[in-house]
Amino acid sequence: MKAKYGTPALLSLALYFLIIPAASCHAKEPARTEFVLGTVCTVNLYDKGTKPVYDEIFARLKELDTTLSANSETSNIAAINHNAGISPVKASPDTLKVLSTALRYSAKTDGAFDPAIGPIVKLWNIGTDKAAVPAPEALRNALSLVSWKDISVDEKEGTVSLAKKGMRLDLGAIAKGYAADEVALIVRKHGIKRAMIDLGGNIFAVGEKANGKPWIIGIRDPETSHGEPIASLPVVNKTVVTSGIYERFFEQNGVHYHHILDPKTGYPSDNELVSVTIICDVSMDADALSTSTFLLGTEKGMALLASMPNVEGIFINKKRQVRLTPGLQNTVTILDPRFTVIK
């Protein structure tokens, strides 16, 4: 399930192009889409969207991919992983920021959210054509390498070290959120008041629509990897991020295996949820929280959100029941009658 903009946002884009002429020496550019961060990233700048600004945004996204990717052999994360159990590694400012935040969420979730999950992610290979259920012994060995408590960040030296050989950082649950925040920074730096940033479903809606109304964000059907929105909500200057079981998965012998992994068992997290959507001001927090609350389940996840200011969530379970945090009670519209809001 991914958040999608509803029709009104698209309509407003069309009108905007018709009415407002480009105001700078550079021609107004249409939205740009590129494959970065292992996903499809689309940025739509509704005013002052010139080629140099789009170039700056996508150069920054590529820089973040090059630095933070667990999949590349040459990233800063790969350098840290290669030196696991050997020595500390100089970490980029981006790595330090994302990893420090990730570790805060590990502490908040009692280790359910764990950026040291890499050895398990690698074993399952979910999202690749090699995805398969790992052998129990391989899983046991990999699990012994997964602990956020074995990650040391030395802010003063600017280094990161992993205590055991074979440990692997994976920031896949949080880095897209950070990237969306970085894009929003660039957008605001250029005085752009309206923009839609969509990094593989990780949404940042900057400002409001040209007519002064909120953006309408559609929440996609959590039971398919495509399809129509099942709910919608209005947002102004907010990020909307979803984690769910139909984002990345494979099936083996009729069993559905998804990519949000329980660091206690090494298996995909198995609870009542199919998806959690987080709405807040900072996309890195929304990304970390969507994965964290998914792992915690509805009750503990709702309690975690209640402990944080200005954070709202939509929890959808396997019975198609929707639980909303208090701030969303009057703002979410259910579009698909198969889904019902429960208290």
Binding footprint of ligand FAD on the chain (CB under 6 A): 37-38, 65, 68-69, 71, 113-115, 117, 121, 127, 170, 172-173, 175-176, 202, 243, 247-248, 259-261, 263, 287, 290-291, 295
Cβ at position 52, least distance to ligand FAD in Å: 24
Cβ at position 69, least distance to ligand FAD in Å: 4
Parallel, antiparallel, or unpaired for β 89-90 and 39-45? unpaired
Cβ at position 48, least distance to ligand FAD in Å: 27
Cβ at position 73, least distance to ligand FAD in Å: 11
Q: Pick from ligand FAD, Mg ion, none: which does 322 bind, CB < 5 to 8 A by kind?
A: none
CA distance 138 to 266: 10
Closest CA to 242 of 262, 261, 221, 228: 221
Q: Show Cβ contacts of residue 117 under 8 Å, excluding neighbours closer than 6 positions.
A: 146, 170, 173, 261, 263
Query: Which of 287, 312, 314, 315 forms a contact with Mg ion (CB under 5 A)?
Result: 287
CA distance 48 to 277: 30
Q: Pick from Mg ion, ligand FAD, none: which does 114 bind, CB < 5 to 8 A by kind?
A: ligand FAD
Closest CB to ligand FAD among residues 37, 187: 37
The verdict on 114 binding Mg ion (CB under 5 A) reads: no
Question: Residues touching Mg ion: how many (CB under 5 A)?
Answer: 5
CA distance 154 to 157: 5
Closest CB to ligand FAD among residues 121, 302: 121
Q: Pick from Mg ion, ligand FAD, none: which does 175 bind, CB < 5 to 8 A by kind?
A: ligand FAD
Cβ at position 154, least distance to Mg ion in Å: 26
Query: Which of 106, 290, 293, 298 forms a contact with Mg ion (CB under 5 A)?
Result: 290
Cβ at position 224, least distance to Mg ion in Å: 19
The verdict on 65 binding Mg ion (CB under 5 A) reads: no
**By the criterion CB under 5 A, which residues form the site for Mg ion?**
173, 243, 287, 290-291
